[in-house]
Chains A and B, each alone.
Chain A
Amino acid sequence: MVFTGTPQQVPGEIPLRPMGFPSEAAYARFVRSAYDELSALGYPNALIGIRGSAATGFSYRTGRAFNDSSTKPSDIDLAIISRDLYERIAVIAPRRVNSKQGRTDPLKSSDELTVDLGIADIILRARSGTGQPSSIVVYRDLQTFIDRRFFVAVE
C-alpha cells in the first residue's frame, strides 16, 4: 500500500522510491528490515512513512530541491505511525510527545530514547543506506500523519 499526498492503494509492490535511496532494491531492503524490526519489537501494525523533501523532491518549507547542492544535505525524515509505540513514549518520556498534535519530537539515533524504544537501528540504516542524515517522528495514528501532508507511506 502506498500513500502519497492523496492516499492511493497499490497492493503488492513498492513503486515509489523516495529521494536518497540509490535503488529500488535498496529502498525495499530498508522498508522490509524496518517492518521486520517493528514487528519484532511488538508493533506489527506500525506503518513506516517518509515526509518532506525526500518524499516530494523539494522542501515545502524552503522551496529548495532535495540535496540542493548550494545547501546542507537534506535529511531522510522518517515517520512511524503506531498508537502503541506513541503511547509507550507518552509513558516513558512524556516530555517528548505533543498529545494535542499527536506526534513526538524528531528523534535522532544519538537520542537515548531511540535505544530504549529499539528504533535507533532503523534511523542508522536509513542513514547508512542513503548517506543522508535521518530522524524519526512517531505519529499516534494515520489520520494525524496524513493531516501533516507531504509524505510517502509504504506497507
Chain B
Amino acid sequence: MSSEQGHQPKTLITGVIGSDTHIVGNRILSMALEQAGYKVVSLGALTPAQDFVKAAVETAADAILVSSLYGQGELDCRGFRELCIEAGLADILIYVGGNLVVGKQSWPDVEQRFLAMGFDRAFPPGTRTADVLDALAHDFATRPRKAGA
C-alpha cells in the first residue's frame, strides 16, 4: 500500500522473552538499533511470546529481535515461528540472542536448535551490536519484500 515505498524506516520489535528480567543488554541493543535509523518498538522485560507477535501485527514490523538471558530461552521460544504464522506474519524476520541455554553446550548445536525452530538467526552471548546491524542490513537487502502491511 501507498507508504511502503520510499524512506520509511524499518520497524523492529525488541524485548526479553519469558520470566526474564535482564533488561540491560536489550536496552543497549535497542538504542543501537535506533541510532542506526530503525524504528524500534521495545517491549522490555518479562514479555510473553504472543506479545511480540501482537506488537508486530499492529505496527507492521519488519523483524522481531528476541532476547533471553536466563537460560530458559529454548522453552520460551518454542513455537515462536508458529505463532507468527498463525498471526499472518509467516515471512517476518526473527532473531534470537543471549544466554539461550543453561550449562556448557556447544554454540553450533544451540544455534542449530534455534534455526530449526524457525528463527532466521541466533546470536551467542557476547555478540556486538554492530554484528546485529550487519545481519539486519544483509537480510533486509536480500529477502523478498514482504506483502501486505
User: Are A and B part of the same complex?
Assistant: no
